[in-house]
Protein backbone atom coordinates (compact mmCIF):
# COMPACT_ATOMS: atom_id res chain seq x y z
CA UNK A 1 0.00 0.00 0.00
CA UNK A 2 1.30 3.43 -0.87
CA UNK A 3 2.44 5.47 2.10
CA UNK A 4 0.05 8.28 3.07
CA UNK A 5 1.63 11.67 3.69
CA UNK A 6 0.43 15.24 4.14
CA UNK A 7 0.83 17.33 1.08
CA UNK A 8 -0.34 20.76 0.09
CA UNK A 9 -2.85 21.30 -2.65
CA UNK A 10 -4.90 24.27 -3.71
CA UNK A 11 -8.59 23.48 -3.49
CA UNK A 12 -11.37 25.54 -4.99
CA UNK A 13 -13.89 26.62 -2.40
CA UNK A 14 -16.60 26.68 -5.07
CA UNK A 15 -16.27 23.34 -6.83
CA UNK A 16 -13.67 21.42 -4.84
CA UNK A 17 -11.32 21.15 -7.80
CA UNK A 18 -7.69 20.63 -6.78
CA UNK A 19 -4.52 22.06 -8.28
CA UNK A 20 -0.90 21.48 -7.34
CA UNK A 21 -0.11 25.18 -7.78
CA UNK A 22 -1.97 28.31 -6.81
CA UNK A 23 -3.97 29.83 -9.64
CA UNK A 24 -5.94 33.03 -9.65
CA UNK A 25 -8.84 31.40 -11.47
CA UNK A 26 -10.18 27.92 -10.95
CA UNK A 27 -9.77 26.11 -14.28
CA UNK A 28 -12.75 23.88 -13.46
CA UNK A 29 -15.52 26.31 -12.54
CA UNK A 30 -13.95 29.56 -13.71
CA UNK A 31 -14.35 31.37 -10.36
CA UNK A 32 -11.69 33.90 -9.37
CA UNK A 33 -9.55 33.74 -6.28
CA UNK A 34 -11.19 30.65 -4.88
CA UNK A 35 -8.17 28.35 -4.64
CA UNK A 36 -7.06 27.96 -1.04
CA UNK A 37 -4.07 26.13 0.28
CA UNK A 38 -5.10 22.89 1.98
CA UNK A 39 -3.09 20.06 3.47
CA UNK A 40 -4.42 16.67 2.45
CA UNK A 41 -3.33 13.13 3.05
CA UNK A 42 -2.56 11.59 -0.29
CA UNK A 43 0.01 9.71 -2.17
CA UNK A 44 1.98 12.61 -3.47
CA UNK A 45 2.71 10.68 -6.62
CA UNK A 46 -0.89 11.36 -7.59
CA UNK A 47 -0.21 15.07 -7.92
CA UNK A 48 3.48 15.42 -8.50
CA UNK A 49 4.37 12.34 -10.45
CA UNK A 50 7.04 11.33 -8.00
CA UNK A 51 6.95 11.33 -4.22
CA UNK A 52 8.58 14.15 -2.31
CA UNK A 53 11.47 12.89 -0.23
CA UNK A 54 13.17 14.21 2.85
CA UNK A 55 16.93 14.07 3.32
CA UNK A 56 19.01 14.05 6.49
CA UNK A 57 19.84 17.64 7.51
CA UNK A 58 23.50 16.72 7.86
CA UNK A 59 23.66 15.66 4.21
CA UNK A 60 22.79 19.13 2.93
CA UNK A 61 25.63 21.14 1.43
CA UNK A 62 25.85 24.40 3.41
CA UNK A 63 27.25 26.11 0.31
CA UNK A 64 24.07 25.32 -1.57
CA UNK A 65 22.62 28.79 -1.37
CA UNK A 66 25.72 30.86 -1.90
CA UNK A 67 25.75 34.57 -2.45
CA UNK A 68 26.63 36.70 -5.43
CA UNK A 69 28.31 40.03 -4.72
CA UNK A 70 26.21 42.77 -6.29
CA UNK A 71 29.31 44.88 -6.74
CA UNK A 72 27.63 47.66 -4.79
CA UNK A 73 28.87 47.52 -1.23
CA UNK A 74 25.88 49.27 0.32
CA UNK A 75 23.42 46.93 -1.39
CA UNK A 76 25.40 43.89 -0.29
CA UNK A 77 25.45 45.22 3.26
CA UNK A 78 21.68 45.58 3.38
CA UNK A 79 21.20 42.16 1.81
CA UNK A 80 23.34 40.62 4.55
CA UNK A 81 26.47 40.03 2.49
CA UNK A 82 25.42 39.81 -1.14
CA UNK A 83 22.61 38.47 -3.27
CA UNK A 84 21.56 35.07 -2.01
CA UNK A 85 20.98 32.60 -4.83
CA UNK A 86 17.46 31.22 -4.91
CA UNK A 87 16.18 34.28 -3.15
CA UNK A 88 13.49 36.71 -4.21
CA UNK A 89 14.05 40.33 -3.25
CA UNK A 90 11.33 42.94 -3.40
CA UNK A 91 12.65 46.48 -3.87
CA UNK A 92 10.00 49.06 -3.03
CA UNK A 93 10.10 52.83 -3.20
CA UNK A 94 8.39 55.89 -4.59
CA UNK A 95 8.52 56.49 -8.32
CA UNK A 96 11.68 58.37 -9.24
CA UNK A 97 13.63 57.38 -6.13
CA UNK A 98 16.15 55.38 -8.17
CA UNK A 99 15.05 51.74 -8.06
CA UNK A 100 15.67 51.11 -11.75
CA UNK A 101 18.99 52.91 -11.56
CA UNK A 102 20.12 50.88 -8.55
CA UNK A 103 19.21 47.57 -10.12
CA UNK A 104 20.72 48.38 -13.48
CA UNK A 105 23.93 49.38 -11.72
CA UNK A 106 23.84 46.21 -9.61
CA UNK A 107 23.12 44.09 -12.68
CA UNK A 108 26.18 45.52 -14.39
CA UNK A 109 28.47 45.36 -11.39
CA UNK A 110 27.48 41.96 -10.01
CA UNK A 111 30.31 39.53 -9.69
CA UNK A 112 29.09 36.52 -11.61
CA UNK A 113 29.81 34.79 -14.86
CA UNK A 114 26.13 34.04 -15.25
CA UNK A 115 23.74 35.99 -17.43
CA UNK A 116 21.47 38.72 -16.21
CA UNK A 117 17.98 39.18 -17.51
CA UNK A 118 16.45 42.62 -17.10
CA UNK A 119 12.75 42.67 -17.77
CA UNK A 120 11.35 46.14 -18.12
CA UNK A 121 7.64 46.60 -18.37
CA UNK A 122 7.93 50.30 -17.65
CA UNK A 123 10.43 51.61 -20.11
CA UNK A 124 11.28 50.96 -23.72
CA UNK A 125 14.53 49.28 -24.72
CA UNK A 126 15.79 52.64 -25.93
CA UNK A 127 15.11 54.28 -22.60
CA UNK A 128 16.90 51.55 -20.70
CA UNK A 129 19.83 51.83 -23.09
CA UNK A 130 19.98 55.59 -22.58
CA UNK A 131 20.07 55.09 -18.85
CA UNK A 132 22.81 52.49 -19.22
CA UNK A 133 24.84 54.94 -21.34
CA UNK A 134 24.38 57.64 -18.76
CA UNK A 135 25.59 55.25 -16.07
CA UNK A 136 28.55 54.18 -18.19
CA UNK A 137 27.36 50.59 -18.39
CA UNK A 138 28.25 48.76 -21.58
CA UNK A 139 25.51 46.25 -20.96
CA UNK A 140 26.99 43.35 -22.90
CA UNK A 141 26.20 40.96 -20.05
CA UNK A 142 22.67 42.17 -19.58
CA UNK A 143 19.85 40.70 -21.62
CA UNK A 144 16.99 43.11 -21.91
CA UNK A 145 13.38 42.40 -22.64
CA UNK A 146 10.60 44.94 -22.51
CA UNK A 147 7.43 43.20 -21.52
CA UNK A 148 5.25 42.54 -18.54
CA UNK A 149 3.52 39.52 -20.02
CA UNK A 150 4.25 36.34 -18.11
CA UNK A 151 3.74 34.16 -21.17
CA UNK A 152 6.64 36.03 -22.84
CA UNK A 153 8.85 35.93 -19.79
CA UNK A 154 8.76 32.23 -18.96
CA UNK A 155 10.15 30.95 -22.27
CA UNK A 156 12.78 33.66 -22.07
CA UNK A 157 13.91 32.42 -18.68
CA UNK A 158 14.33 28.95 -20.15
CA UNK A 159 16.25 30.31 -23.11
CA UNK A 160 18.56 32.72 -21.27
CA UNK A 161 18.94 30.70 -18.06
CA UNK A 162 19.88 33.85 -16.12
CA UNK A 163 21.50 33.87 -12.72
CA UNK A 164 19.95 37.22 -11.83
CA UNK A 165 16.51 38.29 -12.98
CA UNK A 166 15.28 41.86 -12.51
CA UNK A 167 11.59 42.57 -13.04
CA UNK A 168 10.86 46.28 -13.31
CA UNK A 169 8.16 46.50 -12.08
CA UNK A 170 5.78 43.95 -10.53
CA UNK A 171 2.97 46.37 -11.28
CA UNK A 172 3.44 45.74 -14.99
CA UNK A 173 3.32 41.95 -14.72
CA UNK A 174 0.31 40.23 -16.11
CA UNK A 175 -0.77 36.78 -17.11
CA UNK A 176 -3.35 36.24 -19.84
CA UNK A 177 -5.02 33.67 -17.63
CA UNK A 178 -6.00 36.36 -15.17
CA UNK A 179 -7.22 38.93 -17.65
CA UNK A 180 -5.34 41.73 -19.31
CA UNK A 181 -5.18 44.32 -16.56
CA UNK A 182 -1.74 44.42 -14.99
CA UNK A 183 -1.16 45.59 -11.46
CA UNK A 184 -4.04 43.86 -9.69
CA UNK A 185 -3.10 42.00 -6.55
CA UNK A 186 -4.04 38.69 -8.14
CA UNK A 187 -1.95 39.36 -11.23
CA UNK A 188 1.05 40.37 -9.17
CA UNK A 189 0.79 37.43 -6.82
CA UNK A 190 0.29 34.91 -9.56
CA UNK A 191 3.09 36.19 -11.81
CA UNK A 192 5.48 36.74 -8.92
CA UNK A 193 4.81 33.22 -7.73
CA UNK A 194 5.62 31.76 -11.14
CA UNK A 195 8.88 33.72 -11.31
CA UNK A 196 9.84 32.85 -7.75
CA UNK A 197 9.24 29.17 -8.45
CA UNK A 198 11.48 29.39 -11.49
CA UNK A 199 14.40 31.02 -9.74
CA UNK A 200 14.18 28.62 -6.80
CA UNK A 201 14.39 25.68 -9.18
CA UNK A 202 17.18 27.18 -11.25
CA UNK A 203 19.51 28.54 -8.60
CA UNK A 204 19.00 32.13 -9.67
CA UNK A 205 18.07 35.30 -7.79
CA UNK A 206 15.11 37.55 -8.49
CA UNK A 207 14.66 41.27 -7.91
CA UNK A 208 11.11 42.52 -8.08
CA UNK A 209 10.75 46.29 -8.29
CA UNK A 210 7.60 47.67 -6.71
CA UNK A 211 6.32 51.22 -6.80
CA UNK A 212 5.11 52.47 -3.51
CA UNK A 213 3.12 55.66 -3.28
CA UNK A 214 3.66 58.48 -0.82
CA UNK A 215 0.86 57.34 1.42
CA UNK A 216 2.84 54.15 1.90
CA UNK A 217 -0.32 52.10 1.60
CA UNK A 218 1.04 49.53 -0.71
CA UNK A 219 -1.87 47.17 -0.84
CA UNK A 220 -0.42 45.68 -4.01
CA UNK A 221 3.26 45.06 -3.32
CA UNK A 222 2.52 44.54 0.38
CA UNK A 223 0.67 41.39 -0.64
CA UNK A 224 3.94 40.05 -2.06
CA UNK A 225 5.97 40.57 1.09
CA UNK A 226 5.26 37.15 2.52
CA UNK A 227 6.15 35.46 -0.76
CA UNK A 228 9.64 36.86 -1.04
CA UNK A 229 12.72 36.30 1.10
CA UNK A 230 13.80 39.88 1.41
CA UNK A 231 11.99 43.21 1.28
CA UNK A 232 14.03 46.34 0.73
CA UNK A 233 12.72 49.88 0.79
CA UNK A 234 14.46 52.70 -0.95
CA UNK A 235 13.60 56.05 0.56
CA UNK A 236 14.50 59.66 0.03
CA UNK A 237 16.22 61.39 2.86
CA UNK A 238 15.92 65.11 3.70
CA UNK A 239 19.22 65.86 2.09
CA UNK A 240 20.16 64.69 -1.39
CA UNK A 241 20.73 61.20 -0.10
CA UNK A 242 18.78 57.99 -0.23
CA UNK A 243 18.51 55.18 2.27
CA UNK A 244 18.04 51.52 1.45
CA UNK A 245 16.56 49.57 4.32
CA UNK A 246 15.54 45.96 4.77
CA UNK A 247 12.02 45.51 6.12
CA UNK A 248 12.40 41.74 6.03
CA UNK A 249 15.46 39.64 5.44
CA UNK A 250 15.50 35.89 5.62
CA UNK A 251 19.25 35.89 5.10
CA UNK A 252 20.52 38.76 7.20
CA UNK A 253 19.69 41.45 9.69
CA UNK A 254 17.14 44.18 9.11
CA UNK A 255 19.19 46.77 10.98
CA UNK A 256 21.60 47.71 8.24
CA UNK A 257 21.01 50.68 6.02
CA UNK A 258 22.59 51.46 2.69
CA UNK A 259 23.30 55.12 2.07
CA UNK A 260 23.52 56.52 -1.45
CA UNK A 261 23.54 59.83 -3.23
CA UNK A 262 22.07 60.29 -6.69
CA UNK A 263 24.38 62.11 -9.03
CA UNK A 264 24.84 62.74 -12.74
CA UNK A 265 26.17 59.24 -13.21
CA UNK A 266 23.70 57.37 -11.09
CA UNK A 267 23.84 56.29 -7.49
CA UNK A 268 27.04 56.34 -5.57
CA UNK A 269 27.78 55.16 -2.10
CA UNK A 270 28.62 57.69 0.56
CA UNK A 271 32.14 57.12 1.84
CA UNK A 272 31.59 58.77 5.18
CA UNK A 273 27.88 58.86 5.91
CA UNK A 274 28.32 60.76 9.17
CA UNK A 275 29.10 63.83 7.10
CA UNK A 276 25.46 63.80 5.99
CA UNK A 277 24.24 63.97 9.58
CA UNK A 278 26.59 66.55 10.98
CA UNK A 279 26.42 70.27 10.50
CA UNK A 280 29.78 71.91 9.98
CA UNK A 281 30.22 74.93 12.20
CA UNK A 282 33.04 77.26 13.06
CA UNK A 283 33.73 77.81 16.74
CA UNK A 284 31.19 77.34 19.50
CA UNK A 285 28.00 75.32 19.23
CA UNK A 286 24.66 77.03 19.68
CA UNK A 287 22.66 75.89 22.71
CA UNK A 288 20.43 72.87 22.07
CA UNK A 289 22.86 71.03 19.83
CA UNK A 290 24.57 67.73 20.71
CA UNK A 291 26.36 65.05 18.72
CA UNK A 292 25.31 61.46 19.31
CA UNK A 293 27.39 58.43 18.37
CA UNK A 294 24.73 55.91 17.35
CA UNK A 295 24.71 52.53 15.70
CA UNK A 296 22.84 51.81 12.51
CA UNK A 297 23.14 48.07 12.12
CA UNK A 298 26.80 47.35 12.61
CA UNK A 299 27.94 50.81 11.56
CA UNK A 300 28.65 53.65 13.97
CA UNK A 301 27.40 57.05 12.83
CA UNK A 302 27.84 60.51 14.29
CA UNK A 303 24.61 62.43 14.18
CA UNK A 304 23.71 65.94 15.26
CA UNK A 305 20.65 66.29 17.48
CA UNK A 306 18.92 69.63 17.88
CA UNK A 307 16.51 70.50 20.68
CA UNK A 308 14.29 73.48 21.28
CA UNK A 309 12.23 74.03 24.41
CA UNK A 310 9.57 76.70 24.69
CA UNK A 311 6.99 77.31 27.44
CA UNK A 312 3.96 75.14 26.70
CA UNK A 313 1.20 76.93 24.84
CA UNK A 314 -1.55 74.84 26.31
CA UNK A 315 -2.03 73.31 29.71
CA UNK A 316 -0.43 70.12 28.46
CA UNK A 317 3.13 70.21 27.18
CA UNK A 318 3.84 68.40 23.97
CA UNK A 319 6.71 66.69 22.21
CA UNK A 320 7.37 67.28 18.53
CA UNK A 321 9.89 64.80 17.16
CA UNK A 322 9.51 62.82 13.98
CA UNK A 323 13.02 61.37 13.85
CA UNK A 324 13.11 60.05 17.39
CA UNK A 325 10.35 58.25 19.23
CA UNK A 326 8.30 60.87 21.12
CA UNK A 327 7.81 58.50 24.06
CA UNK A 328 11.58 58.30 24.37
CA UNK A 329 11.86 62.11 24.41
CA UNK A 330 9.21 62.33 27.15
CA UNK A 331 10.96 59.67 29.19
CA UNK A 332 14.31 61.40 28.95
CA UNK A 333 12.76 64.77 29.82
CA UNK A 334 11.21 63.18 32.90
CA UNK A 335 14.52 61.58 33.86
CA UNK A 336 16.27 64.95 33.55
CA UNK A 337 13.59 66.66 35.60
CA UNK A 338 13.80 64.09 38.36
CA UNK A 339 17.54 63.52 38.55
CA UNK A 340 19.03 66.83 37.42
CA UNK A 341 16.33 69.13 38.64
CA UNK A 342 15.46 71.20 35.57
CA UNK A 343 11.83 71.73 34.79
CA UNK A 344 10.75 70.50 31.39
CA UNK A 345 7.21 69.34 32.08
CA UNK A 346 5.79 72.83 31.47
CA UNK A 347 7.62 73.16 28.14
CA UNK A 348 6.92 72.03 24.61
CA UNK A 349 9.88 70.01 23.38
CA UNK A 350 11.05 69.95 19.77
CA UNK A 351 13.69 67.49 18.62
CA UNK A 352 15.28 67.35 15.19
CA UNK A 353 17.97 65.12 13.75
CA UNK A 354 20.26 66.70 11.15
CA UNK A 355 20.27 64.96 7.79
CA UNK A 356 16.85 63.50 8.44
CA UNK A 357 17.88 60.07 9.65
CA UNK A 358 15.50 58.30 12.03
CA UNK A 359 17.10 57.03 15.18
CA UNK A 360 15.63 54.22 17.20
CA UNK A 361 18.80 53.06 18.91
CA UNK A 362 18.98 53.18 22.72
CA UNK A 363 22.49 54.64 22.72
CA UNK A 364 21.07 58.01 21.71
CA UNK A 365 19.53 58.63 25.18
CA UNK A 366 22.39 60.50 26.80
CA UNK A 367 22.93 62.83 23.83
CA UNK A 368 19.21 63.53 23.78
CA UNK A 369 19.34 64.44 27.47
CA UNK A 370 22.33 66.70 26.84
CA UNK A 371 20.69 68.63 23.99
CA UNK A 372 17.44 69.04 25.96
CA UNK A 373 19.37 70.34 28.96
CA UNK A 374 21.37 72.66 26.72
CA UNK A 375 18.24 74.01 25.02
CA UNK A 376 16.42 74.56 28.31
CA UNK A 377 19.33 76.27 30.10
CA UNK A 378 20.81 78.12 27.12
CA UNK A 379 24.23 76.67 27.93
CA UNK A 380 26.08 75.33 24.90
CA UNK A 381 27.79 71.95 24.86
CA UNK A 382 31.53 71.86 24.24
CA UNK A 383 32.40 71.62 20.54
CA UNK A 384 33.84 68.41 19.08
CA UNK A 385 32.35 66.21 21.80
CA UNK A 386 30.48 63.04 20.94
CA UNK A 387 28.06 61.36 23.34
CA UNK A 388 26.66 57.85 23.69
CA UNK A 389 24.81 56.01 26.43
CA UNK A 390 21.48 54.56 27.40
CA UNK A 391 19.63 56.11 30.33
CA UNK A 392 17.71 54.19 32.94
CA UNK A 393 14.73 55.71 34.72
CA UNK A 394 16.89 55.75 37.84
CA UNK A 395 19.21 58.20 36.10
CA UNK A 396 22.05 55.73 35.46
CA UNK A 397 24.05 55.75 32.25
CA UNK A 398 23.85 52.19 30.94
CA UNK A 399 26.44 50.51 28.69
CA UNK A 400 25.79 50.44 24.96
CA UNK A 401 26.72 47.97 22.25
CA UNK A 402 30.01 48.47 20.43
CA UNK A 403 31.14 51.49 22.38
CA UNK A 404 34.69 51.21 21.06
CA UNK A 405 33.38 51.30 17.48
CA UNK A 406 31.53 54.51 18.26
CA UNK A 407 34.59 56.07 19.86
CA UNK A 408 36.70 55.12 16.85
CA UNK A 409 34.17 56.63 14.44
CA UNK A 410 34.11 59.84 16.50
CA UNK A 411 37.89 60.09 16.57
CA UNK A 412 38.16 59.54 12.84
CA UNK A 413 35.88 62.52 12.30
CA UNK A 414 37.96 64.79 14.51
CA UNK A 415 35.94 64.63 17.73
CA UNK A 416 38.29 65.32 20.60
CA UNK A 417 36.30 64.04 23.52
CA UNK A 418 33.75 61.34 24.11
CA UNK A 419 31.28 61.14 26.97
CA UNK A 420 29.65 57.81 27.69
CA UNK A 421 29.41 54.79 29.96
CA UNK A 422 32.44 52.90 31.22
CA UNK A 423 33.95 50.37 28.88
CA UNK A 424 36.63 47.77 29.51
CA UNK A 425 38.68 48.36 26.43
CA UNK A 426 38.75 52.13 26.09
CA UNK A 427 40.52 54.38 28.50
CA UNK A 428 40.69 58.14 28.23
CA UNK A 429 37.03 58.76 27.52
CA UNK A 430 34.78 60.86 29.70
CA UNK A 431 33.28 58.00 31.64
CA UNK A 432 30.06 58.78 33.47
CA UNK A 433 27.83 56.58 35.62
CA UNK A 434 24.80 58.84 36.03
CA UNK A 435 22.97 61.53 34.13
CA UNK A 436 23.89 64.00 36.87
CA UNK A 437 27.59 63.28 36.41
CA UNK A 438 27.26 63.58 32.66
CA UNK A 439 25.56 66.97 32.86
CA UNK A 440 28.19 68.19 35.33
CA UNK A 441 31.01 67.00 33.07
CA UNK A 442 29.52 68.45 29.90
CA UNK A 443 28.42 71.82 31.24
CA UNK A 444 31.09 72.63 33.85
P1 LIG B 1 14.85 55.83 -11.52
O2 LIG B 1 15.89 54.82 -11.30
O3 LIG B 1 14.18 55.85 -12.85
O4 LIG B 1 13.70 55.73 -10.41
P5 LIG B 1 12.57 54.63 -10.18
O6 LIG B 1 12.92 53.44 -10.97
O7 LIG B 1 12.59 54.39 -8.70
O8 LIG B 1 11.28 55.25 -10.59
O9 LIG B 1 15.50 57.23 -11.18
C10 LIG B 1 14.84 58.35 -11.54
C11 LIG B 1 15.46 59.64 -11.11
O12 LIG B 1 16.85 59.62 -10.94
C13 LIG B 1 15.16 60.61 -12.19
O14 LIG B 1 14.56 61.71 -11.58
C15 LIG B 1 16.47 60.91 -12.81
C16 LIG B 1 17.44 60.63 -11.72
N17 LIG B 1 18.74 60.18 -12.22
C18 LIG B 1 19.86 60.93 -11.92
O19 LIG B 1 19.78 61.95 -11.27
N20 LIG B 1 21.09 60.48 -12.36
C21 LIG B 1 21.21 59.36 -13.09
O22 LIG B 1 22.34 58.98 -13.46
C23 LIG B 1 20.04 58.60 -13.40
C24 LIG B 1 20.13 57.35 -14.21
C25 LIG B 1 18.83 59.03 -12.94
MG1 LIG C 1 11.92 52.72 -12.63
- Residue range 152-162, pLDDT digits in tens: 999 999 999 99
Ligand 1 atom with minimal separation from the 94 CA: 7
Ligand 1 atom with minimal separation from the 131 CA: 24
Ligand 1 atom with minimal separation from the 95 CA: 8
- Contact (Cβ atoms closer than 8 angstroms) between residue 390 and residue 399: yes
Pocket of ligand 1 (CB under 6 A): 93, 95-101, 131, 134-135, 262, 264-266
Q: What is the pTM of this model?
A: 0.76
Q: Which residue is closest in CA terms to ligand 1's atom 10?
A: 96
Specify the fold of 276-443: Ribosomal Protein S5; domain 2 (3.30.230)
- Residue 126, SS3 per DSSP: helix
DSSP state of 430: E
The pLDDT assigned to 130 comes to: 94
* Ligand 1 centroid from CA 179, angstroms: 31
CATH architecture classification, 69-269: 3-Layer(aba) Sandwich (3.40)
Neighbouring residues of 111: CB distance < 8 A, sequence distance ≥ 6: 68, 69, 70, 71
Q: Which residue is closest in CA terms to ligand 1's atom 25?
A: 266
Helix (H) or strand (E) holding 18: strand 18-19
pLDDT digits (tens, 9 = 90+) for 40-74: 654 444 445 556 778 888 877 665 558 999 999 99
Does this chain's domain 69-269 share its CATH topology with 276-443?
no
Ligand 1 atom with minimal separation from the 262 CA: 19
Residue among 72, 95, 98 whose CB has most ligand 1 atoms within 8 A, to mutate: 98
Helices (H), 110-204: 125-135, 150-160, 185-201
Q: Which residue is closest in CA terms to ligand 1's atom 14?
A: 96
DSSP secondary structure letters along 199-233: HHHTT-EEEEEEE--TT---HHHHTTTTTSSEEEE
Distance of CA 259 to CAs 27, 91, 160, 316, 347, Å? 47, 15, 33, 39, 35
The pLDDT assigned to 61 comes to: 66
Treating both helix axes as pointing N-terminal to C-terminal, what angle do 125-135 and 99-109 enclose, rounded to 10 degrees?
Answer: 70
The pLDDT assigned to 45 comes to: 43
| Residue ranges of domains in the chain | 1-47, 69-269, 276-443
Is the pLDDT confidence value at 17 over 60? yes
* Ligand 2 centroid from CA 195, angstroms: 19
* Ligand 1 centroid from CA 278, angstroms: 26
Instruction: List residues, by chain if needed, whose CB lies under 5 Å from ion ligand 2.
Output: 100
Q: Which residue is closest in CA terms to ligand 1's atom 15?
A: 96
Is the pLDDT confidence value at 151 over 80? yes
Ligand 1 atom with minimal separation from the 134 CA: 22
The pLDDT assigned to 186 comes to: 87
Ligand 1 atom with minimal separation from the 209 CA: 6
pLDDT digits (tens, 9 = 90+) for 287-299: 999 999 999 888 8
Is the pLDDT confidence value at 258 over 80? yes
* Ligand 2 centroid from CA 93, angstroms: 10
Is the pLDDT confidence value at 383 over 80? yes
Q: Which residue is closest in CA terms to ligand 1's atom 9?
A: 98
* Ligand 2 centroid from CA 135, angstroms: 14
The pLDDT assigned to 11 comes to: 80
Amino acid sequence: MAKKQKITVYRCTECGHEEAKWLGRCPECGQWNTLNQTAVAATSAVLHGSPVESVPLSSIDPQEGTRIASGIAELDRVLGGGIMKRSAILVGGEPGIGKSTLLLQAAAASVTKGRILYISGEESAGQVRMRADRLGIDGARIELCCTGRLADITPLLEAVKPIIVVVDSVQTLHSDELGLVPGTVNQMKYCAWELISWIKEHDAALFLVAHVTKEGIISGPKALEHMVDTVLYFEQNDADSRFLRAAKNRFGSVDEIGIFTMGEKGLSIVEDPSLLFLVSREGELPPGVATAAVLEGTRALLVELQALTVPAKGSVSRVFADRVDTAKVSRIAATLEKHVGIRLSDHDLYINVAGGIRIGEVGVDLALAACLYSARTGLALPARTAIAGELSLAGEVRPVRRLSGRIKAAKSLGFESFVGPASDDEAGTGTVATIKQAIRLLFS
